[in-house]
Structure 1
Amino acid sequence: MGLLGPSAVEPSFGPAGYLPPWFWNVRPPDLLIWVLVAVVLLVGTATVIAGLAATRRGWSPRPRRLLAAGTLAVLGLMCVPALGTTDPLNYAAYGRMAALGLDPYRVTPFGLARHGDPIGQLSIAEPWLHNPSVYGPLVTATEWAASLVGGTSMLLTVWVLSLLNGAAFVATGALLLRLAGPDPQRQVCSQLLWTLNPVLLWNLVVGPHVDVIGAFCVVVAFWALRRSGLTVGLALAAATAVKLTLGIFALPFAWGMRHDRRRLVAAASAGVLLLALGYGVVPRAIRNAAAVSNQPVVGSPWPLLQRRLLTPVFGSAAVHLVPVVEILMVLGIAALLLVALPPVEDGAIVQATARPALALAAGYLLGTAYVRPWYDAVAWILVAMLPRSWFDLVLIAHTTCMTLPFDPGLPYPMHPDWLNYVVLQTGYRAMPYLQALLLMAVVAICLRRIRNRRAETSGAPPRPA
């Protein structure tokens, strides 16, 4: 798809050169692109499920070969432009602002375009056209560096950002392989769930979102958990400097290090100092992120919940109740998962920390109004570090159902009209219902597992599923 040039899945990055990324100006029809993306996502989901099922039946490939295959896939994807999103256009615009001495936390891509800047003129794309940057200082630093290399070339700037994201994706897979320990089956699963996961490759490499950098920082924190509290604090602070929401992982890490106060103090001190320095320079990043945090997005079940439940019960006051209900849902789902997820081995500090971290991450992804498929990145690294469980399939379903409404990805009307109707119905009607059913299924599974666990503790036979 990337070789076909600008289309419903590929923004216009300017003319191609002799170096990658390469493409032709074929101008493929919207229907072809929509079908191709859907096939990629559905077949990719099926391959992950089939791979996990094969490991249960004894399939045991060499994990390092899987990592090498994933690395080759990433390198191949670097040869075509970014697909499925206009976010890289905004990343390039924010980096260009920083390179020009403008404040990306005050100036919008539209404002940059009004200056006549070539990067700004190509970054005019919804939905972030009139929004300043909502990302942390670490993201702005990478965008600034990419802009210094790319100059006035949107194609080169975005390609540099894609290279950084691709490197972070591969490095995350390599660290997950290390964290899997000596168990070959767990090593294989870590690569199937991350490095060779086609849906993740689509959301994090083909569409180079900054979430992969945040996931890499979190994996580094897990890798350092047995080695250095200072490194843990710096890595978590770096993740929070990518996105503020990743700061929530300080809680499970503090719990995991509770028996080693010296390491805990070192982690907390280093993290607080780095965050104070980073966000002290760009305090508006916090305000900008908070301004968009309560906006429901396409594919989310929240508009359905508000329309079908909150508004009929509470009337006009439902709008003000949404943030409260949202917080309660996130905390409630996290609490249920904290009890219902399978226990981990005694003394396994990485898994003992990853388990509550997954409960928090899943509570946020399933319960919050503002969530996009690439936000699932951190949850995928957590399931890759934990023993296989029922939640693996839940996460596969969630990421796929959140990704399909963004097929093909660019916020423009599709042609012919009936195709545009199908796309809108999928995103705004079908997927919210599927996500609501998934949420109810998670709650039901958690309650059943909690009940069975209590029955086993009391000596009574567990009730059948």
Structure 2
Amino acid sequence: MVLLGLLGPSAVEPDFGPTATLPPWFVAGHPSDLLVWAAVAVVLLLGTAAVAAGLAALRRGWAPRPGRLLLAGAAAVGGLLCVPPLGTTDPLNYAAYGRAAALGLNPYVQTPADLAQHGDPIGRLALAEPWLHTPSVYGPVATATQWFASLLGGTSMLRTVWVLSVLSGAAFLATGALLLRLAGPDPARRVRSQLLWTLNPVLLWNLVAGPHVDTIGAFLLVAAFWAVRRSGLGAGLAVAAATAVKLTMGIFALPFAWGLRHHRRRLAAAVAAGAVSLALGYGLTPKAIGNARDVSSGAAADGTAWQLLERTLLVPVLGTSGAQSAMTVLQLLAVALLAVLLLAALPVPEEQDLPRLIARPALAVVLAYLLGTAYVRPWYDAIAWVLVALLARSWADWVLIAHTTLLTLVYDPGLAHLLHPAWLYSLVLQIAYRLVPWSQLLLLLAVVATCLWRIRADRIGRRVRRSGPPMQPGGVGGGS
């Protein structure tokens, strides 16, 4: 990843302007599209294999020191902060929104294209599709971080995105440290928390090399899990802050409320703190809600099974507008059905620990959302990785590994760029529009089948336990 960043602007690295004495550093290497695509594919495949190998070794008794894994993750983050962001143009948009806020403009109305038309130096470099003509869809906390980065970065795009990268890297490491604290004294669980988060190469790629706002949201959610043992007020504020990063993170309000149902005072404090905070935050930025709704109600994202359904059936039969209405209804039904199945099929934690009791229904709801919605990106999976790191090992680990890797493969190399040679561009299109969507459909069917099988096995187990042990020979009615 670091070597890719050092090679300078390419199909995986946007142009952030000239380098300077301080990081991030790069050279004008002009790597070929083929080299870049192959390197990103190797990163993803080896990264996925590393996570799988680590989990398998842990199950066989591997016992490294978890503190050393956290330090190794810190070294990886430090290395990635020495090079510009990779695999996404989102930091360009973040910088444009922050620049608009710093200039006293409204980032929920102004677009990166508007800044460019006024000759702003940040706007001229933020000309990246597909968000060029889209105002901010992020909450007030995300906008505050972008404003802060713009204040420090000024008219330098490179400096602005580097500040955003530092904030994202710090949030990533803080999340790993909190997960280590939440893991408790069990050595295997402590190691697991670091393998699934801090030393997960696929997450390092999506959340640090590509510094998305989801990293800050994930940190705030882990802070909510840490606070819920002590304070409903703290948990409510943390969930509200995460929701003020991205509106979709408000989905966590449901499992937190359910987990606190027997702790009425803490629940009341959490609800009051969260409601007041969100009312204040989104009251100041009301257009954020409408902007987020408009983006999520569009066409299905690349690499999802919904893309197949939309392209091959709904649009030909119902037309574009009819297909969008049908997609909305079908997504709601799919997410609801998946949530019910996952709630019944995911393993119940053995310990009566409040964060883990909340994490199980949260994982069911989040996985249902990620698998059942049409608009999803690989970095959206960050919140699900937090949850599996909190819980004991289960089949959900492998579902998430497959889901994140497949979605990330769609964004190899990551920029809206016409690749050369032509056969490489054709290959990338086949992966995005055929291989990954069909693989996601198979994954979805496998999840449904696994849920039904586990539900059936649990029912049979309960019947056996209710019927009691079998009659022994020689007992009542058992013979002579």
Q: Tell me the TM-score normalized by structure 2.
A: 0.94
Name the structure 1 match of 2:87.
84
CA distance in 2, matches of 1:407, 1:23: 20
**Could you tell me which amino acid in structure 2 is paired with residue 83 of structure 1?**
L
Structure 2 unaligned regions, length at least 5: 467-480
Name the structure 2 match of 1:182.
185
Name the structure 2 match of 1:399.
404
In the TM superposition, 1:223-234 aligns within 5 A as 223-234=226-237
CA distance in 1, matches of 2:54, 2:317: 45
Aligned-residue offset at 1:350 = 1.1
Name the structure 2 match of 1:389.
394
Root mean square deviation of aligned Cα: 1.3
Question: Does 2:341 match 1:341?
Answer: no
Moved more, 369-378 or 310-319: 310-319
Aligned-residue offset at 1:309 = 5.0
In the TM superposition, 1:195-206 aligns within 5 A as 195-206=198-209
**Could you tell me which amino acid in structure 2 is paired with residue 100 of structure 1?**
L
CA distance in 1, matches of 2:334, 2:407: 19
Moved more, 280-289 or 251-260: 251-260
Q: 1:104 to 1:212 in 2, by over 3 A?
A: same
**Could you tell me which amino acid in structure 2 is paired with residue 354 of structure 1?**
A
CA distance in 2, matches of 1:84, 1:129: 17
CA distance in 2, matches of 1:346, 1:146: 42
1:249-282 deviation digits (Å, cap 9, x = unpaired): 0111011111111111111111111111100001
Name the structure 1 match of 2:471.
none
**Could you tell me which amino acid in structure 1 is paired with residue 405 of structure 2?**
T
1:203-239 deviation digits (Å, cap 9, x = unpaired): 0000000001000010000001111111001000000
Question: Does 2:273 match 1:267?
Answer: no
Question: Does 2:121 match 1:118?
Answer: yes
1:320-354 deviation digits (Å, cap 9, x = unpaired): 21101101101111110101001112422111100
Correspondent of 1:147 among 131, 146, 150: 150
Name the structure 2 match of 1:64.
67
Name the structure 2 match of 1:5.
8
Name the structure 1 match of 2:286.
283
Correspondent of 2:53 among 50, 53, 70: 50
Aligned-residue offset at 1:318 = 3.8
Report the structure number with the largest CA radius of gyration.
2
Question: Does 2:435 match 1:430?
Answer: yes
In the TM superposition, 1:251-400 aligns within 5 A as 251-295=254-298, 296-310=300-314, 317-400=322-405
**Could you tell me which amino acid in structure 2 is paired with residue 449 of structure 1?**
R
CA distance in 2, matches of 1:305, 1:360: 23
CA distance in 1, matches of 2:293, 2:353: 36
Aligned-residue offset at 1:20 = 0.3
Name the structure 2 match of 1:451.
456
CA distance in 1, matches of 2:185, 2:68: 16
CA distance in 1, matches of 2:43, 2:318: 42
Aligned-residue offset at 1:306 = 2.7
Aligned-residue offset at 1:378 = 0.2
CA distance in 1, matches of 2:200, 2:257: 30
Aligned-residue offset at 1:319 = 3.5
CA distance in 2, matches of 1:267, 1:312: 47
CA distance in 1, matches of 2:54, 2:295: 37
Aligned-residue offset at 1:305 = 1.9
1:267-326 deviation digits (Å, cap 9, x = unpaired): 111111111110000100000000011231111111212344546776774432110110
Aligned-residue offset at 1:150 = 0.2
Moved more, 345-354 or 88-97: 345-354
1:101-126 deviation digits (Å, cap 9, x = unpaired): 11000011001100100000000000
**Could you tell me which amino acid in structure 2 is paired with residue 325 of structure 1?**
L
CA distance in 1, matches of 2:307, 2:76: 37
Moved more, 60-69 or 289-298: 289-298
Q: 1:266 to 1:391 in 2, by over 3 A?
A: same
CA distance in 1, matches of 2:314, 2:302: 19
Q: Tell me the TM-score normalized by structure 1.
A: 0.97
CA distance in 1, matches of 2:430, 2:223: 40
Q: 1:315 to 1:208 in 2, by over 3 A?
A: closer
Correspondent of 1:248 among 251, 261, 264: 251
Q: Identity over aligned residues, as a percent?
A: 67
Name the structure 2 match of 1:441.
446
